[in-house]
Amino acid sequence: METDKSKIGSFLFNRSVQGVFYQLITLGLVALGIYYIVTNTARNMLERGLASGFHFLGVESQFDIGMTLIEYSPTSTYFDSFIVGLLNTLLVAGIGILFATIIGFTVGIMRLSSNWLIAKIAEAYVEILRNIPLLLQIFFWYFAVLRALPKPKQSLELYDSFFLNNRGLFIPDTVFGEGSSIIFYLLWLTIIISIGIFIWAKRRQNSTGERFPAFYVSTALILGTFFISLAATGFPVSFEYPELKGFNFKGGVKLIPELVALTFALAMYTASFIAEVVRGGIMAVSKGQTEAAKSVGLKQNLILRLIIIPQALRVIVPPLTNQYLNLTKNSSLAAAIAYPDLVLVFAGTALMQTGQAIEIIGMVMGVYLFLSLFTSLIMNLFNRFMKVDGER
Amino acid sequence: MSTANKEIGPPVIELGAMGWLRKNLFSNWYNSLLTVFGLYLLYILIPPLVNWIFLDANFVGSTRDDCTNEGACWIFIQQNIKLIFYGLYPTEELWRINFVYLILLISGVYLLIPNLKYKGWVGAFLLIIFPIICVVMLSGGLGLEAVETRLWGGLFLTLVIAGVGIVLSLPIGVMLALGRRSKLPVVSILCTIFIEIWRGVPLITVLFMASNMFPLFMPEGVNFDKLIRALIGVMFFSAAYLAEVVRGGLQAMPKGQYEASQAVGLTYWRMMALVILPQSLKMVIPAIIGSFIAIFKDTTLVLVIGLFDFLGIIQFVGTNPDWLGFSHEGYVFAAAVFWVFCYAMSWYSQRLEKKLDTGR
């Protein structure tokens, strides 16, 4: 009897048995919760006469969208509106990331300046911008600044080619004539060759110690081929400038005020975070590294390129990608000023019309989720690639 | 005097105001150039701003016609102050909100003063009894007239959403972090999926989901109001972010701490509660407060699902026909208030970090 008891006891108090038991309970509870939600949802949808499934994607959407990068009209399908929204989101995220990086790196380096005034101005920029909600900043740029701009006739202009007024920002358009595709193919080809040169130069330096000026050679190759092919095909690329005709501008590229305000606010706001990332990254490189590099006789530009920047980048890149991702997710605030992004077009208008909340919100969340997971995958690969041997 | 002595000249001043200027602003030609550029930047930005906000601004009056000066018209804010701070909450019931603020203020100040006794009790009161007081006082009950949540608004609503989000998301976040680090694969996978899903989507889609999908999930007859739906969304969203912050702290714990507490025979929960969490949470306090600041700023998004928080109500009063064209004043005022709150939090976190630094 007694041995039996202790057997049962040791069975009950065995760590792995307890583990299995707890996991079964957890799994059971989660399954129960999901079952509860699913049955409720199914019954609710039946009662409200809501359809389910993705058939609605092929149906005519019957609404128009203010800004589209592809052909779109009210006779297009809901799926087309999804694509339009997605492209608009990617567009604003792309431009935003570009400007946020430029401003962020500038401000981050300014904060480390030995010039007291410049460092303080950069610090003020960071502390002010990052402590004010992004939505408020978007509202400010949109309602208080862009809407208050003059009419097209009194536009603010720059070099007679950039015009800013309450209808938006008008910039010159590049027109690609016949034969310009060859230039693009050549451009891509030279870029690929340059990457090859870089890899080869690195290998050669690792095995023989001889340096090859890969940067200058590839720059010369890319630019040279570009201009030669441009000349050879007879300059098929030209610019079309916006012109004031009647009450509005014709020609050129029109950026709607919503896009301008959103990009501006996203870039300025995210830049304040990027500035801190950059500052942290540069400060993380210990002073001894610079001193050691100086003592082995490296020149100032080589110290920067070979010692400081590679080490700072290892610290900077992961949080920087995180900021890019944040910017992309924050671009969904577009809905508040009616810029037709994925959320406004699809989770707003399309959802209101079809009522298929689960499918639509699932798709929208899926897009952002994919972007996030994809980015973290790239990041993990980057970290593995950048890992120094022997480091934890 | 010989010519050799003349050429050497006096030493460069390195002390005093002149020395400081020379060292920090004019150390070489491009630094001097940068300084001049910086001064010019300040010159074109600061004076007009100061003029607009203070010197040329209008402070006294009751209608827009009293705004005769060129600068900001702060009468706009003064006249709408009740809406901006309390929303549509009934005027005769405002004392209830103020009472809650007062309790919060007194206990908060008590906790901030160093070296006072019974801080633990005050903290417990704030965490356990105070929320009950809040619910009763704010929404009604126990003889108090009920106030529907659709009348809540302004800074008050912002503080409610941020407060509930912050207080509830921390324990959930800690549990999720423990779950993700668990040795049990099912628990760890479920927590990881939960965290990554919430972190991967923007808050605005979470709020859309909360307002459109939650009603479908509930059994017949159960109907949450809009505010509670938004609160649930904000809570899970910020819990997922906090979970990752806490996980960082857990990972930074030396393995010896786990082994030592197991060696003295602590169970899992006692080990976590008594040894691991107190130390690891302390390590990540700055990051936790950073998340709180993010939650506070993110509460502004509730206006997309039709709740009038601080920013929402300022947008709203700006559309009042009597006060059209004062959006600048509204935004500047909102920005100033948000900035003060966020900056205070980050300043406090820096102070706390210094205080808690035991020099490991």
Question: What does the domain layout of chain A look like in residue ranges?
Answer: 2-48, 78-172+241-386, 174-239
Pick the CATH number of A78-172+241-386 from 1.10.10.10, 1.10.3720.10, 3.40.250.10, 3.20.130.10: 1.10.3720.10
Evaluate whether residue B129 is within a structural domain.
no
Measured between CB atoms, does B177 come within 8 Å of chain A? no
CB B213 within 8 A of CB B137: no
What is the number of alpha carbons within 13 Å of residue A337 lying toward its C-beta?
A: 27
- Put simply, whether B337 touches A (Cβ < 8 Å) is no
Residue A246 pLDDT grade (very low, low, confident, very high; cuts 50, 70, 90): low
User: A78-111 and A357-386 are packed helices; what angle lies between their axes, rounded to 10 degrees?
Assistant: 40
End-to-end CA gap in chain B: 62
- Reading the block at residue A149, the tokens are 């701009």
d(CA A70, CA A84): 7
Which residues lie below 8 Å from residue B64, measured CB to CB, with a gap of 6+? B73, B75, B76, B322, B323, B326
B127 touching A (Cβ < 8 Å): no
**Inter-chain touch B311–A23, beta carbons under 8 Å:** no
Task: Assess whether pLDDT exceeds 80 at residue A243.
Answer: no
Domain annotation covers residue B79: no
Residue type, B221: G
ipTM above threshold 0.90: no
pLDDT at A251: 67
DSSP-assigned letter for residue A173: E
Query: How high is the pLDDT of residue A269?
Result: 95
Helix, strand, or coil (residue A132): coil
**B chain contacts of residue A27, beta-carbon cutoff 8 Å:** 186
CA distances to A222, A230, A235, A328, A345 from A178, rounded to whole Å, are 21, 12, 10, 36, 36
Residue B268 belongs to some domain of the structure: yes
What is the DSSP code string of B20-71?
HHHHHT-SSHHHHHHHHHHHHHHHHHHHHHHIIIIIT-B-S-SSGGG--SSS
**Does residue B313 contact residue B87 with C-beta atoms inside 8 Å?**
yes
Residues B40 and B163 in one domain: no
For residue B329, which residues of chain A lie inside 8 Å, CB to CB? Answer: none
| Assigned domain for B133 exists | no
> CA-CA distance, B83 to B68, in Å (whole number)?
24
Residue B49 lies in a domain: yes
Contact list in A for residue B339 (CB cut-off 8 A) is 128, 131-132
The domain in which residue B333 lies consists of: 147-356
pLDDT at position A351: 84
Mean pLDDT of A177-193: 80
CB contact under 8 A, B186 and A23: yes
**In this predicted model, what pLDDT tens digit does every residue of A57-113 receive, in sequence order?**
877 777 778 777 787 878 888 888 899 999 999 999 999 999 999 999 999 988 888
B218 DSSP 8-state letter = S
A interface test, pick of B20, B186, B328 with most A CB neighbours within 10 Å: B186
B300 at the A interface (CB within 8 A)?
Answer: yes
Whether the Cβ atoms of residue B164 and residue B229 lie closer than 8 Å to each other: no
Answer whether residue A134 shows pLDDT above 90: yes
CA distance B351 to B328: 34
Helix (H) or strand (E) holding A172: none
A40, B218: Cβ pair inside 8 Å? Answer: yes
Calculate the average pLDDT of chain A: 83
E strand segments, chain B: none
Interface probe, candidates A135, A268, A329, A352, chain B, greatest B C-beta count within 10 A: A135
How far apart CA A70 and CA A90 sit, in angstroms, is 13
Altogether, the residues listed in chain B come to a count of 360
Q: Are residues B43 and B156 in the same domain?
A: no
The pLDDT assigned to A138 comes to: 92
Tokens representing residue A242 in the block: 């916006």
Give the integer Cα–Cα distance in Å for A86 and A89.
Answer: 5
Q: Is B309 helix (H, G, I), strand (E, B) or coil?
A: strand
Lowest mean pLDDT among A206-215, A381-390, B260-269, B337-346: A381-390
pLDDT in tens, A288-334: 888 899 899 888 778 888 888 888 888 888 889 889 989 999 999 98
Whole-model pTM: value is 0.84
Instruction: Please check whether residue B140 is in contact with residue B146, taking contact to mean a CB–CB distance below 8 angstroms.
Output: yes
Q: Which amino acid is at A282?
A: I
Answer yes or no: are the C-beta atoms of A332 and A372 closer than 8 Å. no
Q: Is residue B93 assigned to a domain?
A: no
A78 close to A57: Cβ distance less than 8 angstroms: yes
> What percent of chain A has pLDDT above 70?
90
pLDDT at B1: 46
How far apart CA B276 and CA B235 sit, in angstroms, is 24
Mean pLDDT of A136-142: 90
* Site of tokens 């976590």: B272
Which secondary structure element, helix H or strand E, spans residue A174, and what is its range? strand A173-176
Q: How confident is the model at residue A3 (pLDDT cuts 50, 70, 90)?
A: low
CB contacts < 8 A, A to B, total 148
SS3 annotation, B224-249: CCHHHHHHHHHHHHHHHHHHHHHHHH
CA distance A24 to A19: 9
* Residue in the structure block whose two tokens are 């529907």: B148
Q: Evaluate whether B210 touches B230 at the Cβ level (below 8 Å).
A: yes
Calculate how close chain A gets to B240, using CA atoms only, in Å: 14
pLDDT greater at residue A242 or residue A337:
A337
Whether the CB of B297 is below 8 Å from some CB of chain A: the reply is yes
Q: Is residue A250 classed as helix, strand or coil in its secondary structure?
A: strand
| Alpha carbon distance B133, B140 (integer Å) | 10
Whether residues B35 and A118 touch (CB distance < 8 A) is answered with: yes
**B311 or A253: which leads in pLDDT:** B311
Assess contact for B311 and A135: CB atoms under 8 A. Answer: yes
Residue A2 exposure: Cα atoms within 13 Å on the Cβ side: 0
- Residue range A277-297, pLDDT digits in tens: 999 888 888 888 888 998 998
Q: Nearest by CB to B35, from A115, A132, A365: name it.
A: A115
Range scoring the smallest mean pLDDT among A248-257, A266-275, A336-345, A355-364: A248-257
| Separation CA A63–CA A344 (nearest Å) | 13
**Where do we find the tokens 């006294």?**
B60
pLDDT in tens, chain B (360 residues): 445 556 777 666 666 777 778 777 777 777 888 888 889 989 988 888 888 888 877 777 777 777 777 777 888 888 888 888 888 888 888 888 888 888 888 888 888 787 778 888 888 888 888 888 888 878 877 777 777 778 888 898 999 999 889 889 999 999 999 999 888 888 899 999 999 899 889 999 899 888 888 888 877 777 778 888 899 999 999 999 999 999 988 988 888 999 999 999 898 889 999 999 988 888 888 888 889 999 999 899 998 888 888 888 888 888 877 777 778 888 899 999 999 999 998 888 888 878 776 654
Instruction: Label residue A121 by pLDDT band (50, 70, 90).
Output: very high
pLDDT at position B171 is: 92
Number of domains making up chain B: 2
CATH number at residue B299: 1.10.3720.10
In a domain, B103, yes or no: no
Rounded to an integer, what distance in angstroms lies between the CA atom of residue B193 and that of residue B240?
Answer: 10
